[in-house]
Structure 1
């Protein structure tokens, strides 16, 4: 076998070995990125193997500190579970309290990182952020999803890098056929965020229609579709007598002469007059 062939085989094996080593490192990096960060109010249990007197169940203080036997105040707020275990183990080892401590920290209650969901959802309230990669869709699903009275628009407010954040997110765009472009709006949720789900737009119809009253206004709904959703005109109704009452930017109501294929807006009131003949 020639020297060139031997060199190429060795190079190929070396690259394969590097790839095998890189994969566990990439997985470890992704796991570290998604690890939950301990916060104030979290309840934890610390266990040291074969040292039951060092078992402690406590709550993380507002300053991110726990009081641990032999070590005193230990600041674990902002650390991942693995980093907090290592910090306590190093303290026990360096203080010559335990020769080779094996520390396990169990997160019993998540209170330090929470987000709120308000508005038209099935279960509004405050929910824990248990992983660092929790997204808007995950938070919305935790709250039971959008209620039947909810619309397509949600608003996420919070703080990023010390600056106020307000994002209007169109749900059909997130879950539509846009791929990565739409999913980029499925933003990461952080501690203190508030997700508001607005009500669905409504149009009102009355007069000579089969089913008068308020109805959900679907996106791009035309006047003809609104009339069809209302069961159509009665025998006494006439298309010539249809009037759309719309509130302008100045707050005054205007009467709009709309064609059947014109798009209806949120809050419009459609009135169907009675035929005189």
Structure 2
């Protein structure tokens, strides 16, 4: 018997065939893809740190008291260390020395550091992250859920800032007042004006117009050190012999009339003395409220004009002693089963 001897196959002949066969395996394809993806993340992690924000890099302007962290390849002396920007706006780095950081965006500071490191490193790669924002405060006060001081991170509008404090409360009024330092220019709003000192500009916008997108031009960009004040709802009070005493919001109205306030209070009580009602009003500089008599009977009959109420006014409707006495008498009679003439008795009381 003769056997035919075949030459052993060369490695170069076998490898492509085996690789092609192996690559047909779904499991291997997934494994290779995962390895490549992981390698890509590892390579790119230096250039784009996870905590970095592209919008912040391009728009946030660094200032005093901001804290930054620098990631620099082949520059261990300055890399992965926190640096606080001084009150003068400077940062001192090992190797490089002092650099003016205030007034630069994060991207601009990265370019400055790259240029400074070229003296020591070929093709330096630098990434800067703002680890603490402290130089661009915005104060939000008034009828908001979480009033306080925020730090601007990039460009933010009025609506975005209100969202960051949890929105407005149920007792929010109709207007938002914005105060801005003059160094940022006059507020870009129609009624903007300088205050008495000339150092600040102020303006008001309508809350519903901004939140409801009725006037998008009023949803302006907020600048560092702006103060946003959301007004509280103006309220008038109706007390005394009414069916539902309490405070009632004026909403967007400048005034609320006596008849409107009584309507909100669900009308007069049976024992009310309408001709002896009065408005209690606090005037500027006074220590107690002044009394303005109001004859509701004449207003009801059209013999007198309706009276406007102002913010914090109190409409007080007193009891009629005669009516209360008659009512007690009627209640006593009713307990005895006698109600004849009750209507005549109570209608004669004033």
Q: What is the TM-score with the length of structure 1 in the denominator?
A: 0.75
C-alpha spacing 1:77/1:141, structure 2 compared with 1 (3 Å): same
| Contact kept in structure 2, 1:248 and 1:254, CA below 8 Å | no
Alignment of 1:173-212 (within 5 A): 173-176=209-212, 178=214, 182-212=215-245
| Contact kept in structure 2, 1:174 and 1:186, CA below 8 Å | yes
| C-alpha separation in 2, matches of 1:244 and 1:208 | 14
Alignment of 1:80-99 (within 5 A): 80-93=105-118, 95=119, 97-99=120-122
For residue 75 of structure 1, report the CA deviation from its aligned partner.
1.0
For residue 228 of structure 1, report the CA deviation from its aligned partner.
3.3
1:237 aligned residue: 272
Greater strand fraction, Structure 1 or Structure 2: 1
Aligned to 2:59, the other structure's residue is in SS state coil
For residue 49 of structure 1, report the CA deviation from its aligned partner.
2.2
2:85 aligned residue: 60
For residue 256 of structure 1, report the CA deviation from its aligned partner.
6.2
2:42 aligned residue: none
1:170 aligned residue: 206
| C-alpha separation in 2, matches of 1:231 and 1:161 | 52
- Which runs of 5 or more residues in structure 1 are unaligned? 1-30
Aligned to 1:237, the other structure's residue is in SS state coil
| C-alpha separation in 2, matches of 1:227 and 1:127 | 43
Partner of residue 142 from structure 2, selected from 88, 106, 119:
119
For residue 187 of structure 1, report the CA deviation from its aligned partner.
2.5
2:38 aligned residue: none
Higher relative contact order (CA 8 A, sep 6+): 1
| C-alpha separation in 1, matches of 2:285 and 2:90 | 55
| Contact kept in structure 1, 2:58 and 2:105, CA below 8 Å | no
| C-alpha separation in 2, matches of 1:116 and 1:248 | 30
User: Mean Cα displacement is larger for which, 84-93 or 113-122?
Assistant: 113-122
| C-alpha separation in 1, matches of 2:270 and 2:293 | 24
Partner of residue 128 from structure 1, selected from 129, 146, 151:
151
| Contact kept in structure 1, 2:176 and 2:205, CA below 8 Å | yes
| C-alpha separation in 2, matches of 1:219 and 1:139 | 23
| C-alpha separation in 2, matches of 1:70 and 1:208 | 82
Q: What is the TM-score with the length of structure 2 in the denominator?
A: 0.61
For residue 46 of structure 1, report the CA deviation from its aligned partner.
0.5
Residue correspondences, number: 241
| Contact kept in structure 1, 2:281 and 2:314, CA below 8 Å | yes
Structure of larger gyration radius: 2
Alignment of 1:1-277 (within 5 A): 35-55=59-79, 56-93=81-118, 95=119, 97-131=120-154, 133-161=155-183, 163-176=199-212, 178=214, 182-220=215-253, 221-237=256-272, 240-247=275-282, 253=290, 255=292, 257=294, 263-274=308-319, 276=323, 277=349
For residue 238 of structure 1, report the CA deviation from its aligned partner.
5.7
- Which runs of 5 or more residues in structure 2 are unaligned? 1-54, 185-198, 301-305, 324-348
| Contact kept in structure 2, 1:246 and 1:256, CA below 8 Å | no
| Contact kept in structure 1, 2:144 and 2:167, CA below 8 Å | yes
Greater helix fraction, Structure 1 or Structure 2: 2
- RMSD, aligned CA: 2.8
| C-alpha separation in 1, matches of 2:222 and 2:169 | 21
For residue 103 of structure 1, report the CA deviation from its aligned partner.
0.5
